[in-house]
């Protein structure tokens, strides 16, 4: 196993072009586990640790550009206001030590259906900026996950930044695990209200081969909120809407039985989380005219 | 706190040494505490030797198979590989090991019986080379049908896990796939049942728990010039290892010198041999030091686990709440090799009634041989599984009778003088009702603690914790109680003893005691307690603890809650002999100068020989000046026990009983099936707290380990293949600090007159009652029956 240590982004892209099988490593919180368990033995490891721009972020008018290696701790501490869903998701990642190392780029690169940042990115709306010596492109998050632990990257491409829509309304993220901290997702759910476009978006983790959105649930809720005039009136969401939203989110799942949980439980839990988060986010929207973007945690 | 300590009887002297600083009863700090917290403590995995090789074990990928062939040629040809060993390379006639029954092959002999069984060994100059070489060994497995439960083990055409058994249990077991069977019959259940106004039955399932010690199996074997080997290893009982290692190496025991190295937890999982023999074999084959360190994945296959169990119980009671009878069958899955199964059967059966008075019982406990992972010792040792079941039964009975569950238990609680189902009289304090009273009397923690000062919910206080799954929705509180009984020390006629060597000498004008034992310090605090005992008994301040090794007699196992009692007792005993020697020297040298030497009760205090009136007769260091160091090694035994009768189960089989009670307060997200344990209060009788801080630590640790198996810990074995599905800390979860509740501890000190200082072994009892207390609380919150532990969210939400 060769260890490549590019000093700059350009050198990294050149190295990846020369060695397309090279596995990029930043925090190492996923790759090192795989290597230590001997689950994979990449020919080349491409260390991104010296590339400063990957650890930077920029909060723009509408979009925050988040460097691929910005550790979760930084997201929690600095981006809670603009990216509340992602900050909440970051808080559920592993332990403080891991959160100091790991970042969203690694989550996207591994594209595990259990990754904690995926539902938040799906719900917020995001584009993944990837680059190669051939140039750069933006991959919409909805098109990013292509299969179990597979993504839309070409072999010579590296993830540079993630462009995430700044929150214009409340966002939530929850995951179910069988322990109260430091646990891999049995399933996860994220919800973002977008009052600017009067839409909602969702994200589901660990309940399908890839991270997914609950499209039918979103469409139902968008229509129900519009028809009921909820966005203007800010009136209380009716239990029947919350219930049906939960059921549709549950129906969006395509989970498996495994050692962490049954498919039946995952469907059940996603439905509960969707229902609860709709109430939490909507109450927050009503109570504060949508200005408070803080998560509850 | 009750403190009714009385002088233990049977001690050879009435000298009291309690005034000595740093002695017993003080919370002196662990000598290794700071090192461990700061990461500087040297664990067995940290050892290094010039020129050492790394050993690697190749383990079976299937649970049950014949090995048609093994091809090591490719592995052996790899540069950097020094040796590849298989069964054919074993040097001695003895090729098996085992704690009680030597049924475990050092390396598989043409057949593997469980997933992860060692088949071959590699030594190489780099751990990675060793690992790759092991991967190049080609093994042709011819798979056999797997035996995974009682039905498949005892079926008429069941494959026999061990053919041609000739062990001492083989003659009395009803089927060769039963390791050992222990019935206990007392009174007449059929008659007693007629007196019962209510009868409850239950079938309970206890999952396979792992010890999950954080320091994986590791050690270093160094070949010596005399053809022997020096082995540095993390273990629980050096001399037991030695007895199993030497015959397989074909060496006399004196040529295998063992030294304890830094142990990172044990909990029973280091009672069995793991890498010890393998490292020695490789070291002797290569004539180089060999180090073996398991990684976490291998560790799950490298040691035995807690027996999973099925327990069938029937209890009866009169309408005024008195237990009439109990009938039970306990089926323990011992896995592929015997390990400690026979003794676990003895415990499970003899403690199956719990701390209650029941005169009419019909009990049967068995351990099976299956192709599941081998199971053996783990904290609580058979008593844990039984307690989970009988405490569920107590709640069911109380509910059926419309009684308060604590009052019902108190009404039936055993006490000093109660006769056990084995006929043994409980002859020292058994404050079962009092322990329950104490946990119940505590104020309950406030409700809805997550509602923090108007800022929304503090999710850390809620089920799901940081995962942010509820802000109070669906959350219901439940409260549950449990109490348990555990034996202390090795039972059933085992010659259980500990040895201590104590040397008193003068260093730089100061009297210094050195305590040398083979006790494995696995975190229990023996190193602290031994120094405290020496200070108390010898009146010196300066005590050093010699590294534990086999150059001194056996200390027995660090298990069965026995080490403070046994090796602590041995240290006390030896110190008393050393003290007599000091006084003898004093009398010889100074006796003529002061009549008190002949007439008074003499004490050693503050470095002086003093009279019981407080008059100083001599300085110990001055007395010993010019004398040879006083160097005494003595064995210490607890009172003898006898084996349980194989038909009736009668016999005074246990040394001492120990009791703990818990009250669990939980909050359950009833919609998601997630549990937050809010508080786990414990009350326990410890006889005498030699080190109160360590006592509380043990109780909190045991309580937490019981919590783990209540709500998350389980090794999941595929019933079709007998393969382990979750051998990692990603999928085998143990409690984090956010899962660990407040654990208020209330300990009693009611002396056992038979025990040193009146103490009662304490490490295991809290692990028993913690699990059923949590289960009871979850049952109360959810209204569900819940007959299996650990609880899965699926079980609470009907989504299995």
Q: Which domains does chain A have, with CATH numbers?
A: 56-165 (3.30.465.10), 171-287 (3.30.390.50)
Q: In 3-state terms, chain A is what percent helix, strand and coil (to 5)?
A: 40, 25, 35
**Total residue length of chain B:** 800
Q: What is the pTM of this model?
A: 0.96
Sign of CA dihedral A108, A111, A116, A120: positive
Q: Which of A181, A261, A268 sits opposite B465 (nearest CB)?
A: A181
* Three-class SS state of B352: coil
Helix A215-227 with A239-252: angle, nearest 10 deg: 160
| B130 and A CB contact within 8 Å | no
Residue pLDDT, tens place only, B26-47 = 999 999 999 999 999 999 999 9
Closest-CA residue to B279 (of B85, B132, B462): B85
Query: What H or E segment, with its residue span, contains residue B742?
Result: none
CA–CA gap between residue A159 and residue A136 (Å, rounded): 10
Q: Which residues of chain B have pLDDT under 50?
A: 1-15
**Rounded to a whole number, what is the distance in angstroms from the first to the last CA of chain A?**
42
Are the C-beta atoms of residues B91 and B749 closer than 8 Å to each other? no
Distance from CA of B45 to the nearest CA of A (A): 16
B305 forms beta bridges with B375
B122 forms beta bridges with B56, B84
Are the C-beta atoms of residues B275 and B217 closer than 8 Å to each other? yes
| B451 and A CB contact within 8 Å | no
Distance from CA of A204 to the nearest CA of B (A): 14
pLDDT of residue B17: 67
| B712 and A CB contact within 8 Å | yes
Burial B504-530 (b: 16+ CB within 10 A, else e): bbbeeeebbbbbbbbbbbbbbbbbbbb
Are the C-beta atoms of residues B776 and B392 closer than 8 Å to each other? yes
**Where in chain B is CATH 3.30.365.10?**
33-41+497-637, 150-210+305-383, 431-491+655-797
Q: Token pair for residue B551?
A: 């150059």
Instruction: Compute CA B749 distance to the chain's CA centroid, rounded to the nearest angstrom.
Output: 22
Is residue A63 exposed (0-12), middle (13-18) or buried (19+ Cβ within 10 Å)? middle
B394: CB partners within 8 A, 6+ apart: B315, B354, B356, B405, B408, B409
Are the C-beta atoms of residues A173 and A92 closer than 8 Å to each other? yes
**Residue A21 vs residues A113, A221, B360: alpha-carbon distances, Å:** 22, 43, 72
The dihedrals phi and psi of B585, each to the nearest 5 degrees, come to -60, -40
Largest CA distance in chain B: 86
Question: Does a cis peptide bond (omega within 30 degrees of 0) precede residue B790?
Answer: yes
Nearest CA in chain A to B798: A265
The dihedrals phi and psi of B769, each to the nearest 5 degrees, come to -80, -15
**Rounded to a whole number, what is the distance in angstroms from the first to the last CA of chain B?**
46
pLDDT of residue A295: 43
Nearest CA in chain A to B454: A296
Q: Does the distance separating the beta carbons of B730 and A180 come in below 8 Å?
A: no
Q: Does the distance separating the beta carbons of B799 and A268 come in below 8 Å?
A: yes
Beta strand pairing status for A158-165 and B630-637? unpaired
Closest-CA residue to B271 (of B221, B168, B349, B343): B343
Q: Does the distance separating the beta carbons of B459 and A297 come in below 8 Å?
A: yes
Beta strand pairing status for B745-748 and B674-685? parallel
Res A292 pLDDT > 70: no
Position of tokens 């292509």? Answer: A146
pLDDT of residue B18: 58
CATH number of B150-210+305-383: 3.30.365.10
Closest-CA residue to B59 (of B160, B125, B126, B137): B137
Closest-CA residue to B119 (of B143, B150, B92, B88): B88
**Residue B261 vs residues B236, B254, B571, B601: alpha-carbon distances, Å:** 11, 19, 21, 42
Res A288 pLDDT > 90: no
CATH number of B431-491+655-797: 3.30.365.10
* B299 chain-A contacts, CB cut-off 8 A: none
CA–CA gap between residue B49 and residue B231 (Å, rounded): 12
Q: Say what percent of chain A tops pLDDT 90.
A: 92
CA–CA gap between residue B181 and residue B167 (Å, rounded): 13
Complex ipTM tops 0.90: yes
Position of tokens 């230590």? Answer: A36
* Three-class SS state of A268: helix
Sign of CA dihedral B194, B198, B201, B207: negative
Q: Which of A173, A183, A261 sits opposite B468 (nearest CB)?
A: A173
Residue pLDDT, tens place only, B184-208 = 999 999 999 999 999 999 999 999 9
Topology annotation, domain B33-41+497-637: Aldehyde Oxidoreductase; domain 4 (3.30.365)
* B792 chain-A contacts, CB cut-off 8 A: 178, 261
**Total residue length of chain A:** 297
| B717 and A CB contact within 8 Å | no
Q: Does the distance separating the beta carbons of B466 and A180 come in below 8 Å?
A: yes
CA–CA gap between residue A199 and residue A193 (Å, rounded): 6
Closest-CA residue to B760 (of B562, B532, B581, B558): B562
Size of interface A-B (CB pairs under 8 A): 110
């Amino acid at each position: 196993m060769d260890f490549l240590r590019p000093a700059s982004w350009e050198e990294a892209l050149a190295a990846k072009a020369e060695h397309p099988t090279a596995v990029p490593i930043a925090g190492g919180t996923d790759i090192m586990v795989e290597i230590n368990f001997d689950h994979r033995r990449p020919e080349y490891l491409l260390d991104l640790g010296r590339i400063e721009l990957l650890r930077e972020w920029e909060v723009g008018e509408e979009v925050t550009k988040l460097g691929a290696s910005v550790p979760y701790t930084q997201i929690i501490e600095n981006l809670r206001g603009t990216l509340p869903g992602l900050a909440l998701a970051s808080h559920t990642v592993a332990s403080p030590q891991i959160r100091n190392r790991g970042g969203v780029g690694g989550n996207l690169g591994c594209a595990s259906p259990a990754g904690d940042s995926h539902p938040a990115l799906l719900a917020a709306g995001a584009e993944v900026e990837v680059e190669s010596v051939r140039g750069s492109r933006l991959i919409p998050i909805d098109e990013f996950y292509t299969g179990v632990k597979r993504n839309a990257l070409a072999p010579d491409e590296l993830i540079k930044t993630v462009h995430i829509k700044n929150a214009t309304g409340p966002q939530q993220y929850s995951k179910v695990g069988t322990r109260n901290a430091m646990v891999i997702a049995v399933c996860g759910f994220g919800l973002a209200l977008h009052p600017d476009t009067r839409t909602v978006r969702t994200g589901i983790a660990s309940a399908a081969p890839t991270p997914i959105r609950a499209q039918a649930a979103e469409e139902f809720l968008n229509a129900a909120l519009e028809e009921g005039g909820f966005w203007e009136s800010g009136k209380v969401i009716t239990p029947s809407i919350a219930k049906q939203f939960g059921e549709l989110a549950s129906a969006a799942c395509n989970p498996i039985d495994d050692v962490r949980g049954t498919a039946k439980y995952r469907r059940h839990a996603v439905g509960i989380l969707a229902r609860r988060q709709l109430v939490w986010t909507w109450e927050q929207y009503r109570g504060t005219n949508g200005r408070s973007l803080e998560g509850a945690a | 706190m009750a403190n009714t300590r009385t002088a233990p009887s049977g001690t050879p002297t009435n000298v009291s040494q309690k005034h000595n600083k740093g002695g017993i009863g003080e919370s002196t700090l662990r000598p290794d505490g700071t090192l461990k917290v700061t990461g500087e403590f040297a664990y067995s995995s940290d050892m290094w030797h010039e020129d050492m090789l790394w050993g690697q074990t190749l383990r079976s990928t299937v649970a049950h198979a014949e090995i048609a062939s093994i091809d090591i040629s490719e592995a052996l040809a790899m540069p950097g590989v020094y040796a590849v060993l298989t069964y054919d390379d074993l040097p001695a006639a003895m090729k098996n090991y085992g704690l009680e029954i030597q049924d475990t092959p050092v390396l598989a002999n043409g057949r593997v019986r469980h997933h992860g069984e060692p088949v071959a060994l590699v030594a190489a100059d780099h751990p990675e080379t060793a690992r790759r070489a092991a991967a190049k060994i080609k093994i042709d497995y011819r798979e056999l049908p797997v035996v995974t439960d009682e039905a498949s083990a005892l079926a008429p055409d069941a494959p026999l896990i061990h053919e041609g058994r000739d062990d001492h249990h083989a003659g009395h077991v009803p089927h060769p796939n039963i390791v050992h069977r222990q019935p206990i019959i007392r009174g007449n259940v059929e008659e007693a049942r007629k007196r019962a106004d209510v009868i409850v039955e239950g079938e309970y399932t206890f999952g396979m728990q792992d010890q999950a010690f954080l320091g994986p199996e590791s050690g270093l074997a160094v070949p010596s010039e005399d053809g022997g080997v020096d082995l540095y290893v993390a273990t629980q009982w050096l001399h037991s290892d030695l007895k199993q290692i030497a015959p397989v190496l074909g060496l006399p025991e004196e040529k295998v010198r063992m030294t304890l190295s830094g142990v990172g937890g044990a909990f029973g999982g280091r009672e069995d041999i793991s890498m010890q023999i393998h490292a020695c074999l490789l070291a002797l084959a290569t004539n180089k030091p060999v180090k073996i360190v398991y990684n976490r994945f291998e560790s799950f296959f490298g040691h035995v686990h807690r027996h999973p169990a099925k327990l069938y119980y029937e209890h009866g009671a009169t309408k005024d709440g008195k237990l009439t009878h109990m009938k039970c069958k306990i089926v323990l899955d011992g896995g592929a090799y015997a390990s400690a199964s026979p003794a676990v059967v003895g415990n499970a059966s003899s403690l199956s009634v719990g701390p209650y008075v029941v005169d009419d019982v019909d009990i049967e406990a068995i351990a099976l041989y299956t192709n599941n992972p081998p199971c053996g010792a783990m904290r609580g040792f058979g008593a844990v599984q039984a307690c989970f079941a009988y405490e569920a039964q107590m709640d069911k009975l109380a509910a059926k009778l419309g009684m308060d569950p604590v009052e019902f238990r108190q009404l039936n609680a055993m006490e000093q003088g109660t006769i056990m189902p084995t006929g043994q009289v409980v002859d020292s304090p058994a404050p079962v009702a009092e322990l329950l009273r104490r946990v119940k009397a505590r104020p309950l923690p406030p409700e809805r603690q997550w509602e923090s000062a108007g800022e929304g919910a503090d999710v850390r206080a809620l089920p799901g914790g940081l995962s942010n799954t509820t802000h109070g929705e669906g959350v219901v509180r439940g409260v549950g109680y449990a109490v348990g009984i555990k034996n202390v020390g090795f039972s059933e006629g085992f010659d259980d003893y500990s040895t201590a060597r104590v040397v008193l000498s003068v260093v730089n004008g100061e009297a210094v005691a050195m305590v040398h034992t083979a006790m494995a310090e696995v975190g229990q605090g023996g190193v602290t307690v031994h120094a405290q005992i020496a200070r108390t008994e010898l009146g010196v301040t300066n005590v050093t603890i010699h590294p534990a090794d086999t150059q001194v007699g056996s200390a027995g196992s660090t298990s069965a809650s026995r080490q403070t009692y046994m090796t602590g007792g041995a240290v006390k005993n030896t110190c008393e002999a050393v003290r007599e020697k000091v006084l003898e020297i004093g009398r010889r040298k100074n006796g003529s100068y002061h009549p008190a030497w002949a007439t008074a009760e003499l004490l050693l205090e503050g470095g002086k020989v003093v009279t019981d009136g407080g008059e100083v007769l001599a300085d110990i260091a001055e007395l010993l000046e010019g004398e040879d160091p006083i160097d005494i090694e003595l064995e210490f035994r607890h009172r003898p026990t006898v084996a349980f009768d194989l038909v009736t189960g009668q016999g005074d089989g246990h040394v001492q009983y120990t009791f703990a009670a818990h009250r669990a307060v939980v909050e359950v997200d009833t919609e998601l099936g997630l549990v937050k344990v809010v508080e786990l209060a414990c009350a326990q009788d410890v006889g005498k707290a030699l080190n109160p801080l360590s006592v509380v630590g043990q109780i909190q640790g045991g309580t937490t380990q019981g919590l783990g198996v209540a709500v998350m810990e389980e090794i999941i074995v595929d019933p079709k293949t007998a393969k382990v599905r979750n051998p990692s800390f990603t999928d085998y979860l143990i409690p984090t600090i956010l899962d660990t509740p407040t654990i208020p501890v209330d300990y009693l000190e009611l002396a056992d007159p038979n025990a040193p200082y009146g103490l009662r072994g304490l490490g295991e009892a809290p692990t028993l009652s913690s699990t059923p207390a949590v289960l009871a609380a979850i049952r109360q919150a959810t209204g569900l029956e819940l007959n299996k532990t650990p609880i899965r969210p699926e079980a609470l939400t009907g989504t299995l």
